[in-house]
């Protein structure tokens, strides 16, 4: 026996199709409008401001280990050269790009509250290159607020460590990392931060706070390896001085 579909069902289906079609048209129109907006908003000032300079600061380092290793933040140095290009200004937002070549100290400092006699510190040196988008708000001369964000790569240069205490008497602690050499010398991740810039005739002075989150592990992390995670996390406070080669 063939059961006929009620007419009301077809009316409902047709209504739903019309609604879907209407949503598609509206969505397409909004997408087209969004795509057209940048083209119509190209009313900002074109810039060709190229600056170079130096930077220096302090790192507060830690390492994300799995299994966990208890630790304090380890202080290290960070410094190098900076180059920045400002391309355009849209209304009050100044747009550009920045690249740095830095020497940076990472690592970790193990700390066990119940065993203060145990101490292990590992310092790891890297050559780092952050590629940053530069977005700033403020006057051409005077104070500006800016944000930085982008990818970062690094190349392991070498390391050193200090150790004290009889770790063999505490078998419950994780010590696999103590004598283990770095497996992966290439480091990569994402970085971002914010700060203020004072633009003067004598040059540009920047004070910035930044955080780096590594996406790579410096120890191998396959199923047969002890650590499934060994990645850097770095808080950086730095000062940069730039002078304009082209305004």
Could you report the per-residue pLDDT of 153-206, keeping only the tens digit for each?
999 999 999 999 999 888 889 899 998 999 999 999 999 999 999 999 999 999
pTM of the model: 0.80
Q: How many whole angstroms separate alpha carbon 106 and alpha carbon 59?
A: 7
Per-residue pLDDT reduced to its tens digit, 115-126: 999 999 999 999
Cα angle: 83, vertex 88, 90; to 5 degrees: 135
| Cα 135 to Cα 169: distance, rounded to the nearest angstrom | 54
Selection from 119, 126, 118, 121 nearest residue 102 by Cα: 126
Which structural domains are found in the chain, ordered by start? 43-244 (2.40.160.20)
Going 179 to 184 to 81 to 193, the CA torsion angle's sign is negative
Tokens of 13: 């289906």
The whole-angstrom separation of Cα 196 and Cα 199 is 10
């Amino acid at each position: 026996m063939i059961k006929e579909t009620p007419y009301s069902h077809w009316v409902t289906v047709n209504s739903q199709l019309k609604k879907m079609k209407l949503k598609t048209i509206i969505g397409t129109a909004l997408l087209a409008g969004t795509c057209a907006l940048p083209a119509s908003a190209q009313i900002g000032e074109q810039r060709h401001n190229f600056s170079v300079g130096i930077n220096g600061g302090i790192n507060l380092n830690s390492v994300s280990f799995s299994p966990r290793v208890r630790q304090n933040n380890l202080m290290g140095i960070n410094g190098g050269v900076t180059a920045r290009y400002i391309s355009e200004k849209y209304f009050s937002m100044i747009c550009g790009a920045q690249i740095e070549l830095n020497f940076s100290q990472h690592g970790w400092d193990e700390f066990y509250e119940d065993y203060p006699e145990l101490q292990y510190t590992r310092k790891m040196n890297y050559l780092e290159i952050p590629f940053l988008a530069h977005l700033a708000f403020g006057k051409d001369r005077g104070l500006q607020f800016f944000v930085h964000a982008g990818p970062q790569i690094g190349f392991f240069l070498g390391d050193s460590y200090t150790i004290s205490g009889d770790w063999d008497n505490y078998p419950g602690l994780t010590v696999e990392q103590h004598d283990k050499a770095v497996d992966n010398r290439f480091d990569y991740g994402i970085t971002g931060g914010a700060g203020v810039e004072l633009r003067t005739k004598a040059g540009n002075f920047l004070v910035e706070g930044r955080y780096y989150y590594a996406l790579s592990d410096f120890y191998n992390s396959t199923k047969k390896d002890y650590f499934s995670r060994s990645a850097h996390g770095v808080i950086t406070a730095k000062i940069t001085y730039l002078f304009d080669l082209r305004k």
